[in-house]
Amino acid sequence: MALLRRLLPLCRTSYYSTGVREGFGGNVRGCSGIASSEETVSKFEEGIKRAEADNLVVDDDIDNIRREFDAAKRSFLKIPEALKAMPKMNPEGIYVNRGIRLDLIQVYGFDYDFTLAHYSANLQSLIYDLAKEHMVNELRYPEVCMNFKYDPSFPIRGLYYDRQNGCLLKLDFFGSIEPEGCFYGRRQLSEKEIEEIYGTRHIGRDQARGLVGLMDFFCFSEACLIADIVQYFVDAKLEFDTCYIYQDVNRAIQHVHRSGLVHRGILSDPHRYLVKNGQLLRFLRMLKEKGKKLFLLTNSPYYFVDGGMQYMLEDSLGGRDSWRELFDVVIAKANKPEFYTSEHPFRCYDTEKDTLAFTKVDKFLPNKIYYHGCLKSFLQITKWNGPEVMYFGDHLFSDLRGPSKAGWRTAAIIHELESEIRIQNEDGYRFEQAKFHILQELLGRLHATVADSKRSEAYKLLMVELNEERQKARCMMKRMFNKSFGATFLTDKGQESAFAYHIHQYADAYTSKPENFLFYSPETWLYAPYDIKIMPHHVKVPSSLFKNQ
């Protein structure tokens, strides 16, 4: 009736104005005005009926979604047999972003740390402890920091630190902050707090300039130490600049690496930190037998690489054999990523005298060790063309971005891949993933059913229930990986993370360790699956598995 009251005055105005202009001429135009009003009322009544009919349709739609939700909840009581029968992904498989013909690869290059060398979980505690000692002893941080302990359950690879705001962030494939992936110190921020700091969950270009990616094997101890230091200052109610925290922690981490503290710590107790690996030797020998060229390109010093390789391969190498015989070229202290863009010359390293020669290096001699250098000189000396070279490394930026731009084929070594695939293969995870997809679909349909102004109590109640069930499924999936940040490659919604984006960008293939290539012939053609969205090791569980129960 409110609409009727708004329409009728307009009709009356039309009638009187018409009477004034033409009523005295005997042609009573006002009558047409009255007819128009009656017609308007009739149309309005028809509109009321249509609206009532639309409301009935909306109510029916809500009832249908409610029935589907109730049916889904009943199906959630057991894992469908069809889900159990879904194929499992291979934790030790090679996953391909861009096709590779291994028969065309003639040269294989390797990084050392976390590529050829496999470390135990104890290494992160060593790095963390050495870095915090440096911060206390050299950078004059409070003595209480010496009591900090590395927490392996807190960090994951691929986080970002916001130097401006002091937050550790997990981003999704499109650069948005995960709703439960933002920590200030060790405290998880709410979505409201995230919006207060950033305005939106999406990180814009200007904000992205203040972010630092934590991507290499130091990132676990680095992220944990940053969070612990920030939390200490917050709890102690001390003023501090979050940018300085990052600078100091990063300086301490770099000092631990460049000073050789961590290298000496590992070699002093190799049983505690290094993992023996006969499969690696089999892989390298297989490549040599197939006539492939091999080179080692690492930032670590030679004595550290030599000690580690001897320990890891000592049970498999013959008494007279040396790991150096497996490689055509060994380059240490390469200073990646500058190696790929600089013009530094190579220098021959004397392993007995621990000195560098002054003679120009214009060819690589057998059984010699080389330091420094650059990609330009490397290609000039070896004549190895880009497409025939494949380089293995664990750091997406320092190891793989340069080779990728130079035309080499690249393989990312991500040790976490094995454990994450095993979790994704579990029926429990796939069960929660399917539940999440069903609930997401029902929520989307419910949102599209009713306009904001017409949302009934039944609608609101159903919306709350669906959201609660969806949140439960999200939390269950997240906790299966990491209680703080969830999976490395996935968001809490089962979509790809920003770390997955970088792998897709810089790695032609990725796997958990180089020796996984033993399962493939050197003549194999590796193709990217045609039916994937982003990451080929992900399996999307269809919600139809539950609807057919």
Domain ranges of the chain: 99-118+274-414, 121-270
- Long-range contacts made by residues 530-534, C-beta under 8 angstroms, separation at least 24? 533/496, 534/173, 534/496, 534/500, 534/501, 534/504
| Beta strands at 159-162 and 167-171: parallel, antiparallel or unpaired | antiparallel
Q: How far apart (Å, rounded) are the C-alpha atoms in residues 94 and 518?
A: 10
Q: How far apart (Å, rounded) are the C-alpha atoms in residues 362 and 360?
A: 6
113 marked ligand binding residue: yes
- Of 116, 109, 158, give the one whose Cα is nearest residue 340: 109
Q: How far apart (Å, rounded) are the C-alpha atoms in residues 49 and 43?
A: 10
Residue 354 falls in which region: left (phi positive, over 0), alpha (psi -120 to 50) or beta: left
Catalytically annotated residue among 113, 129, 248, 492? 113
Cβ atoms of residues 466 and 438 within 8 Å = no
Task: Give the three-class secondary structure for 79.
Answer: coil
- Long-range contacts made by residues 6-14, C-beta under 8 angstroms, separation at least 24? 7/40, 7/44, 8/37, 8/40, 8/41, 11/36, 11/37, 11/40, 12/37
Q: For this structure, is 362 an active site residue?
A: no
Cβ atoms of residues 154 and 462 within 8 Å = no
Catalytically annotated residue among 111, 228, 248, 508? 111
The two three-digit tokens of residue 188, written as one number: 């998880």
CA angle, 223 then 404 then 326, to 5° = 90
The two three-digit tokens of residue 107, written as one number: 């040269």
Distances, alpha carbon 237 to alpha carbons 231, 232, 488, 499, in Å: 10, 8, 33, 34
Distances, alpha carbon 224 to alpha carbons 129, 142, 151, 396, in Å: 11, 17, 7, 20
What is the CATH class of 99-118+274-414? alpha beta
Q: How far apart (Å, rounded) are the C-alpha atoms in residues 171 and 158?
A: 9
pLDDT one digit per residue (tens) for the chain, 549 residues: 443 333 333 333 333 333 333 333 444 444 444 445 555 555 555 555 555 545 555 677 888 888 888 888 888 888 777 777 788 999 999 999 999 999 999 999 999 999 999 999 999 999 999 999 999 999 999 999 999 999 999 999 999 999 999 999 999 988 899 989 999 999 999 999 999 999 888 888 788 888 999 988 789 999 999 999 999 999 999 999 999 999 999 999 999 999 999 999 999 999 999 999 889 999 999 999 999 999 999 999 999 999 999 999 988 776 556 899 999 999 999 999 999 999 999 999 999 999 999 999 999 998 899 999 999 999 999 999 889 999 999 998 889 998 988 899 999 999 999 999 999 999 999 889 888 988 988 898 888 876 655 667 888 899 899 999 999 999 999 999 999 999 999 888 778 899 999 999 999 999 999 999 998 988 899 988 776 556 667 766 665 665 555
Cβ atoms of residues 87 and 418 within 8 Å = no
Terminal-residue alpha carbon distance, the chain:
49
pTM of the model: 0.82
- Of 393, 409, 360, give the one whose Cα is nearest residue 514: 393
Q: What is the DSSP letter of 269?
A: S
Distances, alpha carbon 277 to alpha carbons 50, 269, 544, in Å: 75, 17, 44
Q: How far apart (Å, rounded) are the C-alpha atoms in residues 480 and 499?
A: 19
Q: For this structure, is 162 an active site residue?
A: no
Cβ atoms of residues 169 and 213 within 8 Å = no
What is the residue type of 85? A
The two three-digit tokens of residue 288, written as one number: 């040599």
